[in-house]
């Protein structure tokens, strides 16, 4: 990787940090409440390492295999990995070893598999439950009703610790439609959270709509393309 590429990535990272800070401020929220997951799925190990060097700490991958590969890369040993994309049950075991947080749990069967894998490793696995807030058929995610019944069964999965909820906004409709989808997630959280299960993390917002996510209470925004603007991918 050329030095200019590293510089470009560092500049992009700084610009995103500033935009996130501005969105947090205009929402009147505490800056410590919102973290950026730098999504590295578009790039290789050197570019991902450039993000760490620029100050990113949480890195996200959407495909399990890419997560495993990067998780073993020597240049990336300081990264804290998040899986943000769809996970199949046959890929759970290795993912649980790499990922600090799995954002995309969308079925009871997957939660069960994660719980079993966590039992094997002897430590709890942190997860978010993905909710389909847009109603789009091609989207992964639990319906609000399925979410609420899964939350009633969590005692069956003691080592899969549910920390909160995740959603993807509707593909059309821009920020204003995204904001409506994100409001649905926040309202679901507010109605389903309890003292034992605060569901404090809300993962919502990407390059095109993270300001809307932050306005609606996101604690994690998943930003990819804006970090690699100007690069030939
Ligand atoms: C790729 C991806 C992102 C990042 O999207 P950008 O628009 O590139 O910022 C966020 N979340 C998920 C689930 C993704 O797959």
What is 144-173 written as a DSSP string?
HHHHHHHHTTGGG-TTEEEEEEE----SSS
Q: What is the CATH number of domain 3-228?
A: 3.20.20.10
- Which pLDDT score, from 0 to 100, does residue 232 have? 81
Packing angle between helix 174-192 and helix 144-151, nearest 10 degrees? Answer: 30
Report pLDDT for 1.
85
Could you tell me the distance, in angstroms and rounded to a whole number, from the CA of residue 223 to the centre of ligand 1? Answer: 6
- How far apart are the CA of 196 and the centre of ligand 1, in A? 30
**Residue 15: what pLDDT?**
98
Separation CA 116–CA 89 (nearest Å) = 11
Cα of 20 to ligand 1 centre, how many Å? 16
Q: What are the pLDDT digits (tens) for 142-172?
A: 999 999 999 999 999 999 999 999 999 998 9
Residue to mutate, 62, 67, 208, ligand 1, most ligand atoms under 8 Å from C-beta: 62
Is the Cβ–Cβ distance between 205 and 182 less than 8 Å? Answer: yes
Q: Pocket around ligand 1: residues whose beta carbon is below 6 Å from it?
A: 39, 41, 62, 84-85, 168, 206-208, 222-225
Ligand 1: residue whose CA is nearest its atom 10:
222
Could you tell me if 92 and 127 are in contact, meaning their C-beta atoms sit under 8 angstroms apart?
Answer: no
Low-confidence ranges of the chain (pLDDT < 70): none
pLDDT at position 233, please?
A: 73
Which pLDDT score is estimated for 55?
Answer: 98
**CB within 8 Å of 208: residues ≥ 6 apart:** 174, 175, 178
Give the residue, by CA position, lying nearest to ligand 1 atom 11.
222
């Amino acid at each position: 990787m050329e030095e200019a590429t590293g510089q470009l990535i560092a500049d992009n990272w700084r610009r995103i940090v500033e935009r996130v800070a501005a969105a947090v401020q205009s929402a009147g929220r505490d800056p410590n409440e919102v973290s950026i997951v730098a999504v590295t799925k578009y790039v290789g190990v050197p570019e991902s390492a450039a993000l760490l060097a620029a100050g990113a700490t949480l890195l996200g991958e959407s495909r399990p295999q890419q997560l495993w590969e990067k998780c073993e890369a020597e240049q990336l040993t300081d990264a804290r990995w998040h899986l943000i994309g769809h996970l199949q049950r046959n890929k759970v075991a290795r993912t649980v070893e790499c990922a600090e947080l799995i954002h995309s749990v969308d079925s009871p069967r997957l939660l069960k598999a994660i719980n079993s894998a966590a039992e094997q490793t002897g430590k709890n696995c942190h997860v978010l439950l993905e909710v389909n807030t847009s109603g789009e058929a091609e989207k992964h995610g639990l319906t609000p009703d399925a979410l609420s019944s899964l939350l009633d069964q969590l005692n069956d999965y003691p080592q899969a610790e549910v920390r909160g909820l995740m959603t993807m906004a509707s593909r059309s409709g821009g920020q204003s439609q995204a904001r409506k989808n994100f409001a649905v997630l926040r309202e679901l959280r507010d109605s389903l959270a309890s003292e034992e299960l605060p569901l404090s993390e809300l993962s919502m917002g990407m390059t095109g709509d993270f300001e809307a996510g932050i306005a609606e209470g996101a604690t994690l925004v998943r930003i990819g393309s804006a970090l690699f603007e100007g690069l030939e991918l």
